[in-house]
Amino acid sequence: MKKVSKILLIAIISLLILSINSDIKSENVKKVIKLQIGNKIAFVDDKQMELDVPPQIINGRTMVPVRFISEGLGAEVGWEDKTKTVTITMDSIDYLKIQIENLEKELSKKSDEITKKDDLIKEKDDKIEELQIKVNNLENQKVRVTGVTTFKNLVDNKWSDFTNNFNSTDESIYAGAYLEMVSDAIFNLNINIYDPFGNLIYTVKWENQEHKKGEKWNYRTGKYYIKDYLIGAIPGVWKVKVLIDNKEVGLCKFTVTKDESYKVDKAELTEAVTCKKVVDGEPQEVTQEFSIDDERVIVFTRFKALINCGFRIKYKFYDPQGNLYTEMFNDIKSLDKDKETWAWVSTKIKGFNPEKNPGEWKCQVYVDDDLVKEIYFNIK
């Protein structure tokens, strides 16, 4: 229903009272109109415009041109000469466009606020994690972690080129921990490496390590390749954690920056299908048609390495309305050139959102950040 007001011109003029140099603001559309008594120059959202007549003060009342004000707020203005009536229509296309623009701005503002809150929560969580690890380390009665570090090279079996900043084209990374024995003890040690999303990517474990009180020991991982491998494919802040008897007692962070100028094709997608089962690395009951009574839909993929490499396979599922429903991934940590590997993910149908939202669904398949395939399937 249109929101139309038919008001006598004199009534409208009487209601539109301004003070000199004041702003007119509509709460709904948030347009700003600036007028000055006796001045034909006006502004709508800082855009200069010329009036037919300037605002005036008559008998103590401020009179302004109603058409300019209304159209400035996106309304349509009509004049009925017979009845001397002004018609202002507040759901004109321009008015609605202004409302849409305003809502988009509000949404963007809210999204920014949410992002800032999420960043603040993550910052606090990281700080709590760091403090808890320090507490765990001080409470440990066997061994104390005195340092955790990352470096690029070994020279005569000595740690070299210490840094916590790496480029995606750097060759490799090592992680190491410095230990000091608090007592004569036997312990298990892990050095774990986590990606920026908190996923455990690499781990090295030493079991039943026996040392005497006061002894100092260094432990390190083997070489992990960066260029063309998983670490280089996922830029951001990574973590190295040291665990003693499965309790986190040491932490350091390193940053991987992606070199946008470097581009290489790592793997070729040789097979991509939807199916209902996977047996011994082979898709079974291959189909693009699923029922709301089916338990799940599986996306099965097979890749051939074009170079010695490692990569992340990402799968993004979109509902029939084009909305991102879920995102999953599989990590291929190392694959020799010309070798093949397979991977699959599934999303449940029965009892979940796809059951309530039948139609044509889509799954996008990525190698690192490169889209390599779009697969379509129907849920009926």
pLDDT in tens, 312-329: 999 999 999 999 999 999
Residue 120, helix vs strand vs coil: helix
If you average pLDDT over residues 270-283, what whole number do you get?
A: 97
Q: Which domains does the chain have, with CATH numbers?
A: 4-97 (3.30.457), 140-257 (2.70.50.60), 267-379 (2.60.40.10)
The pLDDT assigned to 1 comes to 41
The per-residue pLDDT for range 211-267, each reduced to its tens digit, is 999 999 999 999 999 999 999 999 999 999 999 999 999 999 999 999 999 999 999
Of the candidates 310, 361, 359, 375, the residue with the CA atom closest to the CA atom of residue 337? 310
Quote the CA–CA distance of 219 and 191 in Å, as a whole number.
9
The pLDDT assigned to 235 comes to 95
- How would DSSP label each residue in 186-211? EEEEEEEEE-TTS-EEEEEEEEEEEE
The per-residue pLDDT for range 60-110, each reduced to its tens digit, is 888 888 777 777 766 777 778 878 787 776 655 666 667 777 777 777 778
Residue with tokens 């018609």: 87
> For the chain, what is the largest distance between any 2 Cα atoms, rounded to a whole number of angstroms?
106
The pLDDT assigned to 337 comes to 96
Of the candidates 213, 215, 249, 255, the residue with the CA atom closest to the CA atom of residue 235? 255
Band of pLDDT at residue 4, cut at 50, 70 and 90: very low
The reported pTM is 0.68
Quote the CA–CA distance of 7 and 69 in Å, as a whole number.
15
Quote the CA–CA distance of 245 and 239 in Å, as a whole number.
19
The structure tokens listed for 362 are 């889509």
Task: Give the per-residue SS3 of 20-86.
Answer: CCCEEECCCCCCEEECCCCCCEEEECCEEEECCCCCEEECCEEECCHHHHHHHCCCEEEEECCCCEE
DSSP H or E stretch at residue 144: strand 143-155
Quote the CA–CA distance of 257 and 237 in Å, as a whole number.
9
Of the candidates 204, 182, 250, 230, the residue with the CA atom closest to the CA atom of residue 331? 230
